[in-house]
Structure 1
Amino acid sequence: MSKEHFTPRKLVTIDSHIYAIPIRLGFQVALKFNQKHFIIRIVRNLENPNIPGFICEGEGINSGVLSSSSAAINTIYGRVFGNKSKTKYLGATMLGFHNPYMIQQMLNNVDFRPFTICLYGIKIFMASIPDNNNYEGFASSFMYKYKQKQSVIWQKIEGGLFSISIFQNGEMVKQFQDITASSVWNQTQLLRNCDGIDLFGINHPLVQFKFKERYERLFSKTCTLDDWNNKRIMQYMFKLYLKKHVPGDDELWYRILN
């Protein structure tokens, strides 16, 4: 499985925190209905790359790529057993999203598990937390109304800029960029009583913990002689062992040691 797609609509609680179940490209499940065999697969959705696609195959019939697992399964089931069949299956259940064992298997070896937090009564989906200390690559989203229409508010930090993209029905209708979270949110004229950095989710305790956890996971607490030429590792070692005891910053001490 080459890549993960995550969706905030499929959630599971682990250690009191809510995580998204990964919908992974290449994942497939074999099904058996009335002695006939079917396979449902998760593939790329070329029409909308922001969501996964689903294909169901059975008795030589192919559903084509659909945006819903339920639609893929029920389309082929209807063709195989007759369109008059009233039997309907929930795609998420057929894929095993109700089964704790299957969920754990899907979560194995996933480096980052997106999760949700709640601020100002809004559920914010934390889509990406980078393994650096400057927030580059951070992304989060939530649902909110823009010009009276329910929209997906997609937030990210890229190239040193805070960006907000607003999507309606899968299409981006507006985008804002600025150098701080507060200033970019001021441009939107939305949620004026809320702090922009809070709306991104960056200051939430769980998010800060995940930042620290991912950053520290990159490095061992010891270093080798070869690591002395790796600026990033040496800066981490400085913060870990020297910062509390010596004057100066990591940049100064890196130059001294090299």
Structure 2
Amino acid sequence: MFIQNHKRQLLAPGIIIQKLHYGPFAVSWWVFIKTKSTQNKQTCIPIRVNMRIKFELNQKEFIIRVVDNNWKPGYVCELDTEAIIYSTSSAAINETYKKIFDVKTRFSRPSVLGFDNEIMVEQLWAEVLFFPFQIIIQDITIFVIALGSSDRVEWNFAGPGYHSSFFHKYHGQRSLIYQLIINMEYRIDIYHQENKIQTYTGKSPNDVWTKLNILKSHNGKDLFGLCNQLIIEAIRNYIKIPYCKACDWNNVEIMTHAFEKHLKRRISVVNLNFLLNGNNNQQLLSNFLPTLLLYIQQILNLPTLY
């Protein structure tokens, strides 16, 4: 059965949560589909926490709500008095429908969440600052969660803040391979289900991947996604238009990199950590450096902080 044949309404778009949509399990919070507005190219749609969708089936109003279910999306049908959290939206609607009408039915996730409705998709895109990428390298689907830049040509200018992930077997179990660049060091965290079971670090993509006993025939840069032309171009654009979110103000790693790259030659600051110390922010904003902060905002394209 197709829900798109029934009247649907997005009651609430929900919210984007940094640790979920751009963290280790971000791959669970985004869906890639093709739409007419993108000329049948893949587009990325967020599954937002507390988004609520209403539709009518068999003269009954069903409302699906998205919740955080241990780092992954959970789905509750508000018509279900038991308020069971399901792992998929289709299961939430199918099981609730069966309870009410004692009849089996089957709905697919994109239609339940409204991802086939361009108006609803536009609403879900609102205020999203970064859309992840999905690329395929030798039959491995790599999810690029966030970008970061450096002056390292051999890394195709990727740098701190870059995150990517993919699923692969590790010690015989399907695991999440979460890859990061932190302080010019490459790190791989291995997750089984929601538990981190191993961490590796190295000086380069190839260096860190030599420490894992899997995917030996693959190049480390490829596995990080750094050789893909789409990602290379995205990093180039990221470098041209540096962007920091308001929530990055207290992130010393991101702000230090931005400071070194864009501000160090223009201003004189004795201790950047002092500027980034949350205890000092209010004092700085209200008394000492309002002009400097405005200058930083303009250069780094920061949202207004006060």
Same fold? TM cut 0.5: yes
The residue that corresponds to 2:249 in the other structure is none
Cα distance, 1:233 vs. partner? 7.8
The code of the aligned residue for 1:120 comes to Q
1:54 pairs with one of 62, 75, 92:
75
Question: For structure 2, which runs of at least 5 residues remain unmatched after alignment?
Answer: 1-13, 152-157, 244-256, 269-306
Task: Compare the two structures and name the one with the higher strand fraction.
Answer: 1
- Please give the alpha-carbon distance, in whole angstroms, between the structure 2 residues aligned to 1:63 and 1:96: 21
The code of the aligned residue for 1:88 comes to R
Distance 1:33 1:15, change over 3 A: closer
The residue that corresponds to 1:64 in the other structure is 84
The code of the aligned residue for 1:112 comes to F
The code of the aligned residue for 1:147 comes to H
Matches within 5 A, 1:1-258: 1-4=14-17, 5=21, 6-7=26-27, 10-13=31-34, 14=38, 18-45=42-69, 48-49=70-71, 51-58=72-79, 61-82=81-102, 85-130=103-148, 135-218=159-242, 235-236=261-262, 254=266
Q: Percent identity?
A: 29
What secondary structure does 1:61 align onto? coil
Cα distance, 1:155 vs. partner? 1.0
- Please give the alpha-carbon distance, in whole angstroms, between the structure 2 residues aligned to 1:177 and 1:22: 30
- Please give the alpha-carbon distance, in whole angstroms, between the structure 1 residues aligned to 2:40 and 2:213: 34
Distance 1:200 1:106, change over 3 A: same
Distance 1:108 1:27, change over 3 A: same
The code of the aligned residue for 2:131 comes to R
- CA offsets, 1:193-238, max 9 Å, x none? 322122111232211221232343347xxxxxxxxxxx958954xx
- CA offsets, 1:172-196, max 9 Å, x none? 3332122322111010022223221
Distance 1:97 1:145, change over 3 A: same
Distance 1:2 1:140, change over 3 A: same
* TM-score of the pair, normalised by structure 2: 0.63
* Conserved? CA contact 1:235–1:254, under 8 Å: no
- CA offsets, 1:101-123, max 9 Å, x none? 33333223321111112223322
The code of the aligned residue for 1:190 comes to I
Cα distance, 1:40 vs. partner? 0.6
- CA offsets, 1:12-34, max 9 Å, x none? 24477634321111211012121
Cα distance, 1:56 vs. partner? 0.9
Q: Which shows bigger deviation, 205-214 or 180-189? A: 205-214
Q: Which shows bigger deviation, 123-132 or 189-198? A: 123-132
- Please give the alpha-carbon distance, in whole angstroms, between the structure 1 residues aligned to 2:40 and 2:235: 18
Aligned length: 226
- CA offsets, 1:32-84, max 9 Å, x none? 12111121111222xx21x11211111x72433322212222232222223xx
* Conserved? CA contact 1:63–1:72, under 8 Å: no
- Please give the alpha-carbon distance, in whole angstroms, between the structure 2 residues aligned to 1:18 and 1:28: 24
* TM-score of the pair, normalised by structure 1: 0.73
Distance 1:204 1:98, change over 3 A: same
The residue that corresponds to 1:239 in the other structure is none
- Please give the alpha-carbon distance, in whole angstroms, between the structure 1 residues aligned to 2:128 and 2:150: 18
- CA offsets, 1:145-165, max 9 Å, x none? 223333321111234432212
Question: For structure 1, which runs of at least 5 residues remain unmatched after alignment?
Answer: 220-230, 237-249
What's the RMSD between the two structures over aligned residues?
Answer: 3.2
- Please give the alpha-carbon distance, in whole angstroms, between the structure 1 residues aligned to 2:117 and 2:150: 34
- Please give the alpha-carbon distance, in whole angstroms, between the structure 1 residues aligned to 2:169 and 2:109: 29
* Conserved? CA contact 1:141–1:154, under 8 Å: yes
The residue that corresponds to 1:228 in the other structure is none
Cα distance, 1:254 vs. partner? 4.0
